[in-house]
């Protein structure tokens, strides 16, 4: 029996109005296992206390990071085992770094460090410009050699995609190749997925779930509220 692909664009019938045909090819969604749905139910519940919200969110983030690492290139590597025999394995090709979109994206840094010890992490702060109503860069602190690395961009919520698009533009302006950007996200709207992945067809996006859409205020529905407030406050 063949094993299923680690990530798929197939979505469950409930909880989302997106389907395989509607999502760009470079958008991947974690398999809708009962475990993942149970974890998402906990963090969506308005009654969930902060401790449980953080613990459960961290579990989902770990799943996203592990899946993201599956999409990084590898090269062959042969090692000798303690019994004196050779094992033909692989090792990652090139170095990586994480970049969190502040503030909510910082919640995903620990999950990345759990999987990649001593990984370098940069930060980008983007906020809405009250005069133009467009996302504006306020702060960026990135590794000096980021142009030579594969970049895991971290942000748990993707609504319209404006902040994410701006962050990607910042990475590109610092020499990061589009095909070396991997965007990790917990919950997305179909509009946000299409906006980001259509504008940047060479990057890859991995999300845990695609929700129904956006309301009149551009809030993700059914969503989970303000992720940063629930995680940090």
Residue of 128, 145, 198, 215 marked active site:
128
Residue 145 among the catalytic residues: no
Residue 114 among the catalytic residues: no
Residue of 45, 52, 215, 229 marked active site:
229
Three-class secondary structure assignment of 133-185: CCEEEEEEECCCCHHHCEEEEECCEECCCHHHHHHHHHHHHCCCCHHHEEEEE
Structure tokens at 78: 């042969």
Residue of 45, 52, 215, 226 marked active site:
226
Bridge-based pairing state of the strands 150-154 and 181-188: parallel
Residue 226 among the catalytic residues: yes
Residue 144 among the catalytic residues: no
Residue of 34, 78, 81, 132 marked active site:
132
Catalytic residues: 128, 132, 226, 229
């Amino acid at each position: 029996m063949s094993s299923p692909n680690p990530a798929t664009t197939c979505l469950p019938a409930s909880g989302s109005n997106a389907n395989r045909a509607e999502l760009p090819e470079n958008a991947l969604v974690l398999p809708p296992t009962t475990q993942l749905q149970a974890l998402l139910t906990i963090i969506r519940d308005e009654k969930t206390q902060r401790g449980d919200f953080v613990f459960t969110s961290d579990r989902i983030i770990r799943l996203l990071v592990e899946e993201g690492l599956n999409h990084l290139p590898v090269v062959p590597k042969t090692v000798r085992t303690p019994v004196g025999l050779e094992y033909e394995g692989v090792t990652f090709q090139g170095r990586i770094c994480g970049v969190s979109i502040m503030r909510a994206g910082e919640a995903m840094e620990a999950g990345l460090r759990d999987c990649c010890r001593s990984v370098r992490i940069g930060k980008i702060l983007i906020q809405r410009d009250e005069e133009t109503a467009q996302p504006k860069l306020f702060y960026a602190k990135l590794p000096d050699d980021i142009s030579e690395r594969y970049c895991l961009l971290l942000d748990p919520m993707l609504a319209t995609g404006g902040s994410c698009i701006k962050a990607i533009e910042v990475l590109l302006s610092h020499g990061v190749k589009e095909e070396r950007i991997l965007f990790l996200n917990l919950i997305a709207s179909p509009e946000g997925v299409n906006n980001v992945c259509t504008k940047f067809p060479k990057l890859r996006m991995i999300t845990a779930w695609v929700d129904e859409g956006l309301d009149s205020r551009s809030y993700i529905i059914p969503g989970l509220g303000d992720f940063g407030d629930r995680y940090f406050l």
